[in-house]
Structure 1
Amino acid sequence: METEHVKEFLVMADKLNYTAASDELFISQSSLFKHIRALEDELGVAFFAKEGKRVVMTEYGKMFVHHAEIMLRQIQTYKAEVEAHREAQEKTLNIMIANPNAELEFAFRKAFPQYKLNSEHLSNIEDTEKTDAEIIILRGSIPELEENWDHQDLATDSLVVIAPNDHPVAARKSVKLIDLKNEDFIGFSARGPHVLNNRFGMMYDVVSICRGAGFEPNVIMSAFPGSEIARLVSQGGGISILFKKATMRRMGDQVSYVDIEPSLIFPIRAYHRKGKKLSEVAQAYLKFTKEWYQSLYSK
C-alpha cells in the first residue's frame, strides 16, 4: 500500500470531487482516479460511488478514513524516530581499544558533550573481524588489519626499565637487557595486554622481552594494569619493563626510568576502515586524541 495513495485518498475524502482533489494534490485527475482504484482493488472494496453528478463516500470509505489517518500518524511517528536515531548514530562513535584509557575518554567527553563514545575492549584478532567499531586504537601495529584498515600514528612511546629509586639499576642511564638476567621482575598478569600483543609479534611484557634478549626472567609477581606494576616497583617489589611516557605521567619521580639498549619504540596507532569516510565524530575524536597525546607526552 503506497503511503502517497493513502494521503490522496484522505484529500479525496475531504473534497469528494476529483477536480478539486487533483488540483490540491497537483496531479492529474486520471492519476488520482488510478491511485484510488489501486487502493480499492488491494482492499477489495469501493471507497466512492456516484450519485448522479455527485461523488459520495461508501460505508467502506468512511471506515477507511479513520484507519488511514492512524496509519499516516504512525508513519510520521516512525519517520521522526528514524531521523532521531540517525542523528544519534551520527553523533555516536564506536571504538575498539586494546589498552583502555579512562583519562582520555573523560577528557573527550568533557570537550565534546554532544557526542557519545562507545568503547569495547580488543582482546584478540577475531574481535576486529566482527566489530562495528569505526576506530581501533592500540600500542604497536597489527599487520593482519592493514589489508582492510588504514592507520595513523597518534604518538610514540618507548619501553624502559622501571626500578625503585634506591635500586642499583636506577643509577644507570641505560642498560642492556642481558645485564638484568639476575634481577627480580614484576610482570603482567594473565589478563595483561601481552595476551593480545604476543599474538601479533609485539613484545610488550617482561617475559617476551627478556626471552628475546636471550634469558628467562625471574618473575616474582604479576599485576595489571601497568600503573599497579609501577606502584609495586616503587615499593621495592622488583623491577619491570613499561612504557616510559605513560608511566612517568602516573608515577613521576616515585620510580626511576632507565633506557634500554637498543631502544624499543612503539607507536600509539589508530586504525580506521579503508575506503570509508570518517564520520564527523570520528574525525573530532582522532584530532582530539592526537593533540591530547602530543600535549601530555611533550611535557
Structure 2
Amino acid sequence: MELSYIREFVVLAEMGNYLEAADALFIAQSSLSRHIKSIELDLGSPLFDRTTRKVVLNGFGQAFLPYAKKMVEIQEEYENVLQSYLSGVSSTITVASIPSMVRYNITDVLAGFKQANPRYKLNILEADSSQILQLLLEDKCECGFVRDKDGLFDGFNKIPFTTDHLVAILPKNHPLAEREYLSLEEIQNEPFLFLNKNTTMYSICVNACREAGFEPNVAFTGLRGENLIDLVAKKMGVAVLTRRPISGRIYEDVVLVDVVPYVTTSICLVYQKNKKIADPLKSFLGYVQTYVKENENATEK
C-alpha cells in the first residue's frame, strides 16, 4: 500500500469531494480515484459511500481513518528527521527560564536534554515570568520555565514542574528569629523588602499580605534577592522570598522562617496554545514530562 495514497485518502475524507481533494493534492481527479480504488483493493472493502457530488466515509472507512492519519503523521515525522540529518542542519530550540535555574533543577533538565539529543541546538534565555510570556508571544522562544500565578497562563499550555513556598528573612536578633514559622500578620508592621514591582514574585508577596488582612509597607524593591538579604542584615526591614533559591547558603546575620499558612508557588513549563509544535519542542516537552514523572516523589530542597 502506497503511503502517498494513504495521505490522499485522508485529504479526501476531510474534504468529501473528489474534485476539491484532487485540486488540493495537485493531481488529476482520475488519478485520485484510481489511488483510492487501489487502497480499497488492498484492504478488501470500499471506504466511501458515493453520491453524485459528495463522498462520505462508510463504517469501514471511519474505522480506518485514525490509523491512516497516524501513518501520515509518522511519515511526516521521519521525513523531517531524516532530512535534517541529510542536510546537516541542526534544529534549534530556544528555552527561557526564571533566574533560579540551579535551585529548581532546571539546569539538570537542560543539560540532560542536550546530552540525550545532541543534534538539537539549545538556546537559553533568562528573564522574569512576565517577560518570558512576552517572549513567547513575540516568538522569541518556544517555551519557558515560569512561576505560576492565577490568570497568568491564558493562551498558554503548561506542564507543572516543581513547587516552592514563601519564607520571611529576618535579622538574627529579631524577636521572632527563633521561631520555626510565623504568620505574615505577625510582621505586618515591619518595612517590607520585595523584588521589583514588575516581577511575578512581587505580586505573589503583596497578594499574600492582602490575604493576611493588611497592605504591606514596601520600603524597597530590588532586582536581586541577595541585595534584599543584605539589607535585612543591616536592619532595613524584613524580606519575603521563596525558600529554594536561598536555602543551602550560610547567613551570619539573618534567619529564614517559614510563612504559615504556607504560600505555595509552582514552577511550570509553558508554551503557546493553538500553535503547531515543531519536532525540537515536541522532543523537549516529552523530555520534561518524563523528568517530572521520574522525580514526582522528590521533596522540596
TM interval, shorter chain, is: 0.5 to 0.7
Residue aligned with 2:229, SS: helix
Q: Is the contact made by 2:180 and 2:257 (CA closer than 8 Å) also made in structure 1?
A: yes
What's the TM-score, normalizing by structure 1?
0.55
The equivalent position to 2:88 in structure 1, one of 84, 90, 99, is 84
2:236 aligns to what? 237
RMSD over equivalenced CA pairs, Å: 3.7
Q: Structure 1: where are the runs of 5+ without partners? A: 1-78
- In structure 2, relative to structure 1, the CA distance for the partners of 1:98 and 1:246 (3 Å cut) is closer
Q: How far has the Cα of 1:98 moved from its partner? A: 4.1
2:72 corresponds in structure 1 to none
Deviation, 1:262, is 2.2
1:106-145 equivalences under 5 Å are 107=108, 110-111=111-112, 112=114, 114=118, 115-120=120-125, 121=127, 122-124=129-131, 125-141=133-149, 143=151, 145=153
Q: Deviations over 1:65-88 (max 9, x none)?
A: xxxxxxxxxxxxxx9999233xx1
Superposition deviation, residue 240 in structure 1: 1.0
Counterpart position of 1:71? none
Distance 2:293 2:170 in 1: 29
Q: Would you say 1:94 and 2:98 are equivalent positions?
A: no
Count of residue pairs the alignment pairs up = 207
Aligned residue identity for 1:182: N
2:257 is aligned to 258
Distance 1:161 1:271, change over 3 A: same
User: CA, structure 1 residues 283+119, in 2 after alignment: closer, same or farther (shift >3 Å)?
Assistant: same
CA–CA separation in structure 2 for the residues paired with 1:252 and 1:288: 32
Corresponding position of 1:181: 188
The offset of 1:242, in angstroms, is 0.7
Offset from partner CA, 1:81-107 (integer Å, 9 cap, x none)? 99233xx11xx3212334463675655
Instruction: Determine the C-alpha separation between the residues in 1 that align with 2:255 and 2:182.
Output: 13
Structure 2 letter corresponding to 1:169: L
Pairing 1:272–2:271 present: yes
| Change in 2 beyond 3 A, CA 1:129/1:171 | same
Unaligned runs of 5+ in 2: 1-82
In 2, distance between residues paired with 1:240 and 1:144?
Answer: 24
Shift of 1:267: 0.8
| CA pair 169-284 structure 1, distance change in 2 beyond 3 A | same
Cα distance, 1:130 vs structure 2: 2.2
Could you say what secondary structure the match of 2:209 adopts? helix
Q: Pick the aligned partner of 1:284 from 283, 287, 292.
A: 287
Native 8 Å contact 1:233 1:255 kept in 2: yes
For 1:220, the equivalent position in structure 2 comes to: 219
Percent identity reads 23
**3-state SS in 2 of match to 1:170:** coil
Q: Which secondary structure does the structure 2 equivalent of 1:133 belong to?
A: coil
Larger Rg belongs to: 1
